[in-house]
Amino acid sequence: MTETFTGSFTQQEPIPQAGIEAAMAVLNHGRLHRYNTHGDEIAETALLEEEFAALTGAKYCLAVASGGYAMTTALRACGVGHGDRVLTNAFTLAPVPGAIAAVGATPVFVGVTDNLLIDLDDLAAKLDQAQVLLLSHMRGHICDMEALMALCDAAGVTVIEDCAHTMGAHWNGTPSGRWGKFGCYSTQTYKHVNSGEGGLLIGDDAEAMARAIMLSGSYMLFERHRAAPPPETFAQIKYETPNISGRMDNLRAAILRPQLADLQTQCDRWNALYRVVEGGLRDTPGLTLTHRPAAEGFVASSFQFLLLDWPAEAVQRVIQGCFRRGVELKWFGGSEPAGFTSRYDSWRYAAPDPLPQSDRILAGIIDMRLPLTFTPEDCALIARIIRDEVEKAFSTRQS
């Protein structure tokens, strides 16, 4: 009998009861705007910023409307503007080059390795083309950050980290987001904490964070930020920085704070599911798993494998065969963007140069969500289904 999976790849866990109760308290008093407080009340948003700064070890934190807004604000706060060029990964999602385009800059794409990491050799060759790297830790894969920072520091290139998929992760004990000038996080539904939409921005540079706070739409209320630079930092910046409103509200902050408190437990659960899928797919003929080095403290809320050098029709047979059996896989090798899986040559506004070596990798990347509504037994079943469909398609190719 052919096994099938009946679960949902898009169903998240409920918001924790503590988050629901905190949200109801905000709804009951009605002060959703982050600067609308009563008496000596501390806004939920200010408390969230303080707690996330402490969690990551950052001096400063700013809560904003989305992860994309966090990246755009970080770029602006670093002085990126119209006509500039910004280095970024060829393997990423549309909000990353979108943030670069939003400030009038042009993405310069850097290649991807078969471990789904930014290609450091290609980066080294392109460091003279830009002054900023917007580094995407795409799908939670973290490169050798000591090596990357050494390259960028030597070239005078500022690093901004897109940590949408790496909240709670680290490289060699240093949290993602703590290597560059800014770390940018998302709290969108499919990320490690869930407020529907939202973002967080961290850093240690007082002037850069002061600009970010003014950009977010703080008016002259920056002293109400607890995880912020001292007021004197804003003395001149408040006159020079435009208000491009993108604040987080107290309702979303209230939902997020209990989730942050439980983040490590959730990260451990994701990684346990990842290891079940990884074990079930190991040594499958024709299927390549990525190598995760010991220094990479990853958080695996999704799973990727490669069908390297497979013809497109064979890849499609695997995807369609899995789909018929209830397993939803996404492919980064399609000629047309679909859902979340667009790629660098889909973003024609960027006029990208061809990357033949990366095209080979992208043509083989298969992506799958791992929501925490799955059990280890679910993941073992999913792995068996994928393995069966890959083996069938592979044997057909070989015959």
Tens-digit pLDDT profile for residues 196-250: 999 999 999 999 999 999 999 999 999 999 999 999 999 999 999 999 999 999 9
Sequence-ordered list of residues with C-beta below 8 angstroms from that of 1, at least 6 positions apart, any chain: none
**Domain end: 261, 283, 309, which one?**
261
- pLDDT score for 167: 98
Look at residue 343 in the predicted model and tell me its pLDDT.
Answer: 87
The residue segments making up the domain with residue 119 are 17-261
Q: Do both 50 and 183 map to the same domain?
A: yes
Using DSSP's 3-state secondary structure scheme, residue 96 falls into helix
Please identify every stretch of the chain with a pLDDT value under 50, giving residue numbers as ranges: none
86 has which bridge partners?
A: 107, 132
Which residue type occupies 195? S
Q: Which residues of 298-311 are buried (b: 16+ CB within 10 A; e: fewer)?
A: bbbbbbbbbbeebe
In a domain, 323, yes or no: yes
* Residue at a domain's end among 193, 227, 261: 261
Which single residue is written with the structure tokens 């679910």?
A: 378
Residues 182 and 270 in one domain: no
For the full predicted model, state whether its pTM sits above 0.95: yes
Answer for the pair 151, 175: CB distance below 8 angstroms, yes or no.
no
CA 334 to chain centre: 22
Q: Is 372 left (phi over 0), alpha (psi -120 to 50) or beta?
A: alpha
The pLDDT assigned to 399 comes to 61
Flag whether 1 is in a domain. Answer: no
Q: What is the pLDDT of residue 221?
A: 95
Q: How far apart are CA 309 and CA 208, in angstroms?
A: 44
99 plus 57 within the same structural domain = yes
For residue 1, what pLDDT is reported? 55
Predicted local confidence at residue 339, as pLDDT: 78
Q: What is the pLDDT of residue 47?
A: 98
112 lies in the same domain as 207: yes
Same domain, 222 and 283: no
Domain with residue 284: its CATH number is 3.90.1150.10
The pLDDT of residue 205 is 98
